[in-house]
Amino acid sequence: MTPVEDETAYWKARAAALQEKLDQAHARLLALARSAPFEAVALFRYDPAALSSRAGIADIFAGWEDTTYVRTSDVATELRELWDRLAPPTASEK
């Protein structure tokens, strides 16, 4: 191969690798857009530098009420589920 052919082969391989990375990024972006909340999909059109000023992070603890009070119904439900899990198998389950 001549130096020109070597360089051409190098740039073709480089372009193919970059195209593959672009296709992977495109597939990931489509999957993200399909699974993101509808309100967030509009944010995909913004430049990443501008995105930080536009996108608000949802407060995952909004409406959270932290309490140490245990109600009887909570205990009864949890104990029932625990005993169901720990119950010995019946004859039909063996």
**What are φ and ψ of residue 7, in 5° steps?**
-65, -40
pLDDT digits (tens, 9 = 90+) for 79-90: 888 888 887 777
Q: What is the pLDDT of residue 53?
A: 60
Domain that holds residue 12: 1-55
Mean pLDDT of 54-79: 71
- Position 25 in a domain: yes
Q: Can you read off the two tokens belonging to residue 77?
A: 């439900």
Mean pLDDT of 71-86: 81
Q: Can you read off the two tokens belonging to residue 89?
A: 């198998």
- Position 32 in a domain: yes
- The residues, any chain, with a CB within 8 Å of residue 33's CB and separated by 6 or more, are 41, 44
Number of domains the chain contains? 1
Mean pLDDT of 29-39: 82
- Position 66 in a domain: no
- Position 78 in a domain: no
